[in-house]
Amino acid sequence: MIVREAGPADHATWAAMLAKLHAPEGDAAEFLAEIPDWLAFEQPMICWVAFSDDGVPVGMIDARVRNYAEGAPDLQAAYVEDLWVEAEHRRTGVAAALLLAVEQWARAQGLNWLGSDAEIGNRLSRQWHAAAGFMEVEELVVFGKPLD
C-alpha cells in the first residue's frame, strides 16, 4: 500500500470518495467543485490517498488546522474532517496508515492535538476511533435555525 498527499491529479478520487462517505447529500461533481475553495482556506484542507499495491485508490483522509477543537489543550489543533476506506479494504490497515500520515503532518506543524468526530449513533466509527487511540471528550447536539 502507498499513502501519499493528494495532488491535483487526485482531486477526482478525493471527490468520489467524499461522495460515497456523505451519500446521499452530495455528489462527486459538487465536491470536486469545492476542493479549490478548501485548498484556498487560510488553513487549507490537506488530503492523503491510499493506493493498493496495484495502484487502485482504496481510501482517503483529509484534515486541516482548526482554531478550536474540543478537548484540545491549546486553541489550534489538527482535525480529521473526512475518512473513507473502500468496503473491501476495511480492517486491513488502510485507515491506520492514513491516520499516521495525518499525525506526522500535524506534528510537523507543531501541533499537539488531533481532533475528529463521528455521529453519536455511528458505533463502528466510535469503536475505530477508540482503537486508534482517540478518547471521547464530548457529546454534542448541534442546532440550526433558518433566518429568512
Residue-wise pLDDT for 49-108, tens only, equals 999 999 999 999 999 999 989 888 888 999 999 999 999 999 999 999 999 999 999 999
The whole model's pTM is what?
0.93
> Phi first, then psi: what are they for 130, rounded to 5°?
-60, -45
Task: Tell which CATH classification among 3.40.50.10790, 3.40.630.30, 3.40.50.200, 3.30.365.10 matches the domain 2-131.
Answer: 3.40.630.30
Taking alpha carbons only, the member of 142, 60, 73, 59 closest to residue 114 is 73
- Residue 49 has phi, psi (to 5 degrees) of -120, 140
- φ, ψ at 127 (rounded to 5°): -65, -40
User: Shortest CA distance to 116 belongs to which of 140, 93, 97, 94?
Assistant: 140
Question: Over pLDDT 90: what percentage of the chain?
Answer: 91
